[in-house]
Amino acid sequence: MSKVLDILKSTGAIITDSHFVGTSGRHMPTYINKDALYPHIAETSKVCELFADKVKDLNIDVVVGPALGGIILSTWTAYHLGRLLGREVLGVYAEKTPEGGMIFTRGYEKLVSGKKVLIVEDLTTTGGSAKKTAHAVTSGGGKVAGICAMVNRNPKEVTSEYFGVPFFPLDVLEIPTYEEKDCPMCKAGVPINTSVGHGKKYLEEKNKV
């Protein structure tokens, strides 16, 4: 097992043998609850040290994360990159627009303009959030030098070619996902987990119908 998966397991972030619903509405037997990692400062720092070591030769000026989880990752990764490079590396974040895109507010677009940028993401399933963040960077005049993720859950589709820039996942963990009608856990009557993921919201919506 890789270092990042060891760290995630040690903080209880990888949960297996249950019945989860993801943000997409698809069902899955394993869930990565990245929010379980972030309260553990030393472990979060270690993950970001792995990011920094992975991209230390890219001469990064600014690290950008998509809000919310990416804020913590961008700050710690910038800190470790700065230590490795012996100079300041900035850590900023992009925020969601009402239309579902990503945008810089708070004047952060001025900090990425003309700079080499690393995007850090927690998990990639479709890669959509990281791709929208990359668009925000280029729209602000920055150059995306690479994208990092803790875990890539979809290695067949989420690749460097998909992003159009080098992609550096720390590890891959393919998790089978199912539409509700095809879900073997639904067919077996396994209760949906409502403590993590979108199971609670899913059941609330289902009960409205």
The pLDDT tens digits for 195-205 are 998 899 989 98
In a domain, 145, yes or no: yes
pLDDT of residue 6: 95
In a domain, 135, yes or no: yes
Tokens of 43: 């472990």
Name residues of the chain where pLDDT drops below 70.
1, 209
In a domain, 200, yes or no: no
In a domain, 201, yes or no: no
| pTM for this model (two decimals) | 0.89
Report how many domains make up the chain.
1
**Full DSSP string of 50-119:** HHHHHHGGG--SEEEEETTHHHHHHHHHHHHHHHHHTS--EEEEEEE-TTS-EE--TTHHHHHTTSEEEE
In a domain, 197, yes or no: no
The pLDDT tens digits for 128-156 are 999 999 999 999 999 999 999 999 988 99
In a domain, 67, yes or no: yes
**How many Cα atoms occupy the beta-carbon half-sphere of 190 within 13 Å?**
17
Q: What is d(CA 64, CA 152) in angstroms, rounded to the nearest whole number? A: 18
**Structural domain for 117, as ranges:** 3-192
In a domain, 199, yes or no: no
pLDDT of residue 209: 58
In a domain, 203, yes or no: no
CATH number for the domain harbouring residue 173: 3.40.50.2020
